[in-house]
Amino acid sequence: MSQGRTIKLYRHPLSGHAHRVQLFLSLLGLPAELIDVDLLAGAQRRPEFLALNQFGQVPVLDDDGTIVADSTAILVYLARKDGGEAWLPTDPIGAAAVQRWLSVASGPLAFGPGAARLVTLLGAKFDADEVIGRAHALLRVMDAELRGREFLAGERVTIADVACCTYVAHAPEGNVSLAEYGAVRAWLARVAALPGFVPMQASAIGLARG
């Protein structure tokens, strides 16, 4: 990190989208000021926040005045600026493998395990059975693929793993059991063992109550 560089992360401590950025900053060894946005009070809709992200969503990164919104966009930005080839390959096959899982993070992961957790965490008006079913459909695919490799996009960790690990790790909070997915659980353990790993705040809800 260049001398005098100031990084701010606008986030909510229970947002998996925000946590993936916080995690990546920590894995890269980049100190950042964490600025909590009170989503329940509507702080994301106030003019000062909308000036940072007109979609009114966390996370938002302020890197010495460069503003980047959207969690996966921030991961790509940081990988290119600070992470090098290891986190986001530039070869066509490697780049496509990572992008595939970034798309999963924004689609099946958000609308499966992520949505199931929102039902128990915030009383979101999703059909619980439907989103739990989506979660298990995704986990079956992930488990099958992780039986053949160490990480989602290959044999080394990339931002694909950073983008996906939080909502999978916290899936039990949304009544989604990980018991049947041994390869997924082993992958989560490998990610958690990375130097600089920081977990997201746990919530005693769903299957995580006990």
Q: pLDDT, tens digit, for every residue of 147-168?
A: 999 999 999 999 999 999 999 9
Return phi, psi of residue 34, to 5°: -95, 120
Confidence tier at 3 by pLDDT (50, 70, 90): low
Half-sphere exposure of 101 (CA within 13 A, CB side): 27
Q: Taking a C-beta distance cutoff of 8 angstroms, is the pair 49, 43 a contact? A: yes
pLDDT at 1: 43
SS3 string of 87-103? CCCCCHHHHHHHHHHHH
pLDDT value at residue 59:
98
Backbone angles phi, psi at 33, to 5 degrees: -85, 125
Average pLDDT score over the chain? 96
Write down the number of H helices and E strands in the chain.
8, 4
User: Would the pLDDT of 48 be above 70?
Assistant: yes
* Cα–Cα distance for residue pair 193/191, rounded to 1 Å: 5
pLDDT at 210 over 80: no
Residue 202, domain member (yes or no): yes
Dihedral (Cα; 70, 197, 132, 206), 10-degree rounding: -120
Average pLDDT over residues 26-47: 95
Is residue 127 assigned to a domain?
yes
The mean per-residue pLDDT over the stretch 71-100 comes to 97
Residue 159 lies in a domain: yes
- Name the DSSP letter for residue 181: -
Is 2 inside a domain boundary? no
Q: Is residue 164 in a domain? A: yes
1 in any annotated domain: no
| Residues 49 and 96 grouped into a single domain | no
Backbone angles phi, psi at 168, to 5 degrees: -70, -45
Looking at the fold, whether 74 and 121 belong to one and the same domain comes out as: no
The residue among 42, 64, 45 whose CA lies nearest residue 55 is 45
**CATH classification at residue 136:** 1.20.1050.10
What is the per-residue pLDDT for 58?
98
- Distance (Å, rounded) from C-alpha 51 to C-alpha 49? 5
Last residue of a domain, one of 59, 83, 107: 83
- Closest alpha carbon to 142 in 131, 153, 130: 153
Residue located via tokens 């099946």: 108
- Final residue belonging to a domain, choices 83, 107, 128: 83
pLDDT in tens, 122-141: 999 999 999 999 999 999 99
Owning domain of residue 56: 7-83
Boundary of a domain, candidates 52, 83, 114 = 83
Residue 70 and residue 153 in one domain: no
